[in-house]
A = this chain, B = another copy of it.
Amino acid sequence: MNKVILAGRLTRDPEVRYTQSGKAVASFTLAVDRRFGRRNAEANGQPTADFIPIVVWERLAEVCGNNLIKGSQVLVEGRMQVRSYDAQDGSKRYVTEVVANEVEFMGSRPQREGGAPMPQGGYQQSAAPQQQAPQANNSFGPSIPDEEIPF
């Protein structure tokens, strides 16, 4: 069990890259507000949010690339992952990321600077992982008619 659920806003547009074998990978950082501290914290010089790196793969990566921008408010579900790499000074460094398997749009849509709002309305462009997680709606849903339920 390694489960993470975060609600927050992108600090920048997502960056989409491709592996050598052609898999899409999107990455962005989520600003997740620490609830109660905000005002006092600002006064205290304390952090008011956690900035958490998110990684998304394959089709969902492309959907994020096409639909999210800096400021977009999202709900992310995934798992924590710790990668290590060797720094230039020879020491080992650790990076903690959340690998998302679900990204839901929430709330208000940010405008592109000087531009039109993002086309986030319809299901077609939804970042919800359609083929990646068909099981999310596999029962009593459209794919299994009532007559099929054996109890």
Q: How far is the CA of A140 from the CA of B129 in the complex (A)?
A: 19
Q: How far is the CB of A34 from chain B (nearest CB, A)?
A: 6
The count of identical subunits is 4
Interface string of A79-115 (1 = CB under 8 A from B): 1111100000100000010110100101110000000
Q: Point out the residues of chain B lying under 8 angstroms from A20, CB to CB.
A: 147-148, 150
- Contact B3–A77 (Cβ < 8 Å): yes
Interface string of A45-84 (1 = CB under 8 A from B): 0110011100101100000000000000101010111110
Residue of chain B at shortest CB distance from A22: B148
Q: Point out the residues of chain B lying under 8 angstroms from A5, CB to CB.
A: 1-5
Q: How far is the CB of A57 from chain B (nearest CB, A)?
A: 5
Q: Point out the residues of chain B lying under 8 angstroms from A4, CB to CB.
A: 3-5, 80
- Contact A141–B27 (Cβ < 8 Å): no
Interface string of A114-151 (1 = CB under 8 A from B): 00000000010010111011111111111011111111
Further 14 A-B residue pairs, CB within 8 A, beyond A36-B137, A55-B139, A108-B108: A7-B104, A17-B150, A21-B148, A23-B144, A25-B150, A34-B141, A37-B137, A37-B141, A57-B135, A73-B107, A99-B139, A99-B140, A106-B106, A133-B133
- A-side residues, CB < 8 A to B, are 1-7, 17-21, 23, 25, 27, 32, 34-41, 44, 46-47, 50-52, 55, 57-58, 73, 75, 77, 79-83, 89, 96, 98-99, 101, 104, 106-108, 123, 126, 128-130, 132-142, 144-151
